[in-house]
Amino acid sequence: MPETKALPFSLDRYEAPARELVRRAFVFAAAAHEGQMRGTGDPYISHPTEVARELYAWGLDERVVAAGLLHDVVEDTEISLQQIEEEFGLEIAALVDGVTKLSQLHMPQAEAVSVRLEASNENLRKLLLASIRDIRVLLIKLADRVHNLRTLGGLPEIKRHRIARESLEVYAPLADRLGMGRLKAEIEDRSFRYYLPQDYARVTSLMNRHMKSTERYLIRLRHELSGLMDEGGVEVRRVEARRKHFYSVYKKLAKVDGDIDKLYDLVAVRLIVPNEAACYQALGLVHQRFRPLIYRIKDYIAVPKPNGYRSLHTTVFALDGRITEIQIRTPQMHEEAENGLAAHFFYDAHKATAAYKEGKGTSVRPQGLAWVEQLASLAQLTQNGSEFVEGAKLDLFSDRIFVYSPRGDLYDLPEGATPVDFAFAVHTDIGLRTMGAKVNGRIVTLDYPLENRDVVEILTRREAAPNRDWLGFVRTAAARQRIKAWYRAQSRDANTASGRALLEAELKLVEARRIDDLPERQTKAALEALKLRSWEEVYAALGEGSLSLSQVLRRLFPEPAPQKNPVPAARPASISTGRVLVAGTLLPYSLAACCAPVFPDVLTGYLTRGKGVTVHRNDCRNLPDEPERYLECAWEVSPKASGQMIVLVEIVAENRIGLLRDITNTFAARQLNIHGIASRDIDSESSQIEVSVEVPDLYELSRLIRGIEALPGTRRVRRIASGSA
Ligand code: MN
């Protein structure tokens, strides 16, 4: 084996510094892979070299070619990404990183299939995410894959089968999405051969026989067409006849029950003419000479395919009435159809090179690649790796149909897509507001499977109101994820509202209506303790039940002792005001009916659910065993001895609006000091209200009681307990 110290292909297109970079990458990679062999028996360096040759042939810049040379170094040798970055810079390192498999996912061969599948999903996700940032990553991966396919013969059968299948399912559709028609055909045919060997043999022999009988005909037709263009004054750069590739014939055969004579486009004749105008002229000339099948005239120049493909297609009854497809395009259209995205880079080479030189090349996403945008938004919408990859497979890699909006915009969707999928493809907002749909002017149901070339019109309502049932029939992951996201947001709103109501009911007990009414220091500390960022999040967590009310309250009011109040009885010598201080402050409360605490009983407050603080005797058996809801309570003692006496007045009255106001007005009219009011509902019709009030004497107290008795709806007024004067 001769030692390869020089690149086996020329770099004529590059300037000297670019050539130098590529050579340096080659020497580096050759040293790193030194001594490694491929399954085919070749030295390992032959693989990255061929990948680089492919990338150069696609017209890509020197950094991509260098990255192609280095693409397996990190994965398969001791060299780290760090070293690549030091040696070749961030941009090349990022490209290499994009195609490097996740190392922790290098599974032993004995691992279960599901584990390997998960691993390959994660790797694919990594690749696609890297490609969203820089699409050149994908180009390197495709060059890598196609060379692996060319040398697949050296691998064991099982591995061949797996790689072939993955290539058909993922990499050929990706090449197609990049508009790289020739690469897609090669990936498909090479994979087809190993994935379905018997079908491959059948289709190739069928095609070979067919081509033999067609060859003479094609020679005549090319001659005829050249003459035709000549007479019409259209310059023809090239006429070529191309057979369809085997895998696409295989797929088409399935649709015509295997009858190859029913396929009109096994061979297409291509006319390459100088410019767009010549394309249409040529089409006219063809149609003057041969009658076209009207429904097979396709103008992909006026309306390019979403992957950028442009050409005129027509199928005509040609010589001897044989049905034949003719494609007409310019040289640039031809180049783009064959090389797709790579051609785009080629044409933009100067611009791109300038951008790279300014160091702006690390995020490279050519315009007009709508599916890359789709991929990016899918990455945002999905919750995990396999959801993303499954969605990507569904949206990007399944067989596509092309449909039109009423304005003539072309959309591509997976086969079986419905008007709802179309609506979401047009715009999320349209999707969410979809009410009905017309296809080719006819009203259809929303689950109607669209077909190629349908014109789809979406009827919308004013408000977003997607239907959960749509999830049963939508085909695109984009539609599915957006419907789900809408419902998630809806239920989040509902949860937030109910969580907020729950907490605010409790806040009433501290005379606050909203969380903002509490001191900021207190609410901030509670948020921190709950490890949440905002009260919105607290409400949502409360609403969905992942956080309990008592957890929130404990954090919000951490001061109260967590056990029953251990404080001994208040000093009998002190003067009670008859009121209870809850958590050291004047909060509304009610005395528990079960134990009817009186001064100087030791007290414990219990924060009920929605009914405020109930004050029990410390030893009350009915006190629920929920220490997190206990609040420290104590009888208020008068700070100063005065001539006044404090009495507790109990009022039972019918519930009515303004009752409490009337009662407090009665006290105020007599210039009496209210120390506290607690009320509770006895039943739906009446309340018990306890007022502790400072009165100068019993005379004043009896006048007060008569005054309250005179209020409408009062049933009973009495003095129930009192501090000593
Ligand atoms: Mn490789």
Q: What digits encode the pLDDT tens for the residues 27-66?
A: 999 999 999 998 888 899 999 999 999 999 988 899 999 9
Looking at per-residue confidence, does 576 or 614 come out higher? 614
pLDDT at 329 over 90: yes
If pLDDT is split at 50, 70 and 90, which confidence band does 566 have? Answer: very low
β-pairing verdict for 267-272 and 323-329: parallel
If pLDDT is split at 50, 70 and 90, which confidence band does 710 have? Answer: confident
Q: What is the pLDDT of residue 357?
A: 45
CA of 152 from ligand 1 middle (Å) equals 12
Among candidate residues 163, 175, 173, the one with its CA nearest the CA of residue 396: 173
Looking at per-residue confidence, does 637 or 446 come out higher? 446
State what percent of residues in the chain have pLDDT above 70.
Answer: 85
Among candidate residues 401, 461, 406, the one with its CA nearest the CA of residue 436: 461
pLDDT tens track for 216-253:
888 999 999 999 999 999 999 999 888 889 999 998 88
Looking at per-residue confidence, does 348 or 271 come out higher? 271
Q: What is the pLDDT of residue 438?
A: 93
If pLDDT is split at 50, 70 and 90, which confidence band does 424 have? Answer: very high
Q: What is the pLDDT of residue 367?
A: 52
Tokens describing residue 653: 């009255």
CA of 87 from ligand 1 middle (Å) equals 20
Q: What is the pLDDT of residue 383?
A: 64
Active site residue 75: yes
Distance CA(66)–CA(365), nearest Å, equals 19
pLDDT at 358 over 70: no
Contact 218, 267 (CB under 8 A): yes
If pLDDT is split at 50, 70 and 90, which confidence band does 528 have? Answer: confident
pLDDT at 314 over 50: yes
CA of 153 from ligand 1 middle (Å) equals 16
Q: What is the pLDDT of residue 412?
A: 80
Which segment, 96-100, 430-434, 499-503, 520-524, is predicted with the most confidence on average? 430-434
pLDDT tens track for 129-166:
888 888 889 999 999 999 999 998 878 888 898 899 88
If pLDDT is split at 50, 70 and 90, which confidence band does 587 have? Answer: low
Contact 335, 238 (CB under 8 A): no
CA of 624 from ligand 1 middle (Å) equals 69
Distance CA(295)–CA(669), nearest Å, equals 95
Terminal CA-to-CA distance of the chain, rounded, Å?
115
Among candidate residues 77, 87, 8, 16, the one with its CA nearest the CA of residue 49: 8
CA of 99 from ligand 1 middle (Å) equals 9
Q: What is the pLDDT of residue 586?
A: 62
pLDDT tens track for 179-203:
888 999 999 999 999 999 999 999 9
If pLDDT is split at 50, 70 and 90, which confidence band does 434 have? Answer: very high
CA of 574 from ligand 1 middle (Å) equals 89
Active site residue 76: yes
Contact 528, 555 (CB under 8 A): no
CA of 101 from ligand 1 middle (Å) equals 10
Out of 42, 50, 54, 75, the active site residue is: 75
Distance CA(125)–CA(385), nearest Å, equals 6
Q: What is the pLDDT of residue 197?
A: 92
Q: What is the pLDDT of residue 107?
A: 43
* Average pLDDT of span 624-635: 79
Q: What is the pLDDT of residue 220?
A: 92
CA of 71 from ligand 1 middle (Å) equals 6
Q: What is the pLDDT of residue 481?
A: 86
Scored b (16 or more CB within 10 A) or e, 112-147 reads eeeeeebbbbbbbbbbbbbbbbbbbbbbbbbbbbbb
Q: What is the pLDDT of residue 570?
A: 35
CA of 405 from ligand 1 middle (Å) equals 42
State how far Cα 99 lies from the chain centre.
23
Tell me the torsion sign for CA atoms 651, 652, 654, 657.
positive
Q: How many residues does the chain have?
A: 725
Q: What is the pLDDT of residue 572?
A: 37
CA of 519 from ligand 1 middle (Å) equals 62
CA of 145 from ligand 1 middle (Å) equals 7
Looking at per-residue confidence, does 305 or 466 come out higher? 466
Out of 3, 50, 76, 176, the active site residue is: 76
Peptide bond before 600: cis, by omega within 30 degrees of 0?
yes
Hey, what amino acid is at 505? Answer: A
Q: What is the pLDDT of residue 244?
A: 86
Q: What is the pLDDT of residue 644?
A: 66
Q: What is the pLDDT of residue 236?
A: 93
CA of 361 from ligand 1 middle (Å) equals 23
pLDDT at 85 over 80: yes
pLDDT at 19 over 90: yes
CA of 3 from ligand 1 middle (Å) equals 20
* Average pLDDT of span 345-358: 48
- Share in percent of the chain as helix, strand, coil (round to 5): 50, 15, 30
If pLDDT is split at 50, 70 and 90, which confidence band does 692 have? Answer: confident
Q: What is the pLDDT of residue 368?
A: 55
Q: What is the pLDDT of residue 456?
A: 93
CA distances from 41 to 61, 90, 617 (A): 30, 33, 90
The average confidence (pLDDT) of the chain is: 81
Alpha-carbon Rg of the chain, whole angstroms? 41
CA of 297 from ligand 1 middle (Å) equals 42
Contact 69, 22 (CB under 8 A): yes
Helices (H), 658-697: 659-669
CA of 49 from ligand 1 middle (Å) equals 10
CA of 490 from ligand 1 middle (Å) equals 46
If pLDDT is split at 50, 70 and 90, which confidence band does 102 have? Answer: low
CA of 65 from ligand 1 middle (Å) equals 13
CA of 218 from ligand 1 middle (Å) equals 40
CA of 14 from ligand 1 middle (Å) equals 24
CA of 33 from ligand 1 middle (Å) equals 12
β-pairing verdict for 603-607 and 630-637: antiparallel
* Average pLDDT of span 499-513: 78
Q: What is the pLDDT of residue 105?
A: 42
pLDDT tens track for 255-274:
777 787 777 778 889 999 99
Distance CA(724)–CA(700), nearest Å, equals 16
pLDDT at 363 over 70: no
Q: What is the pLDDT of residue 699?
A: 64
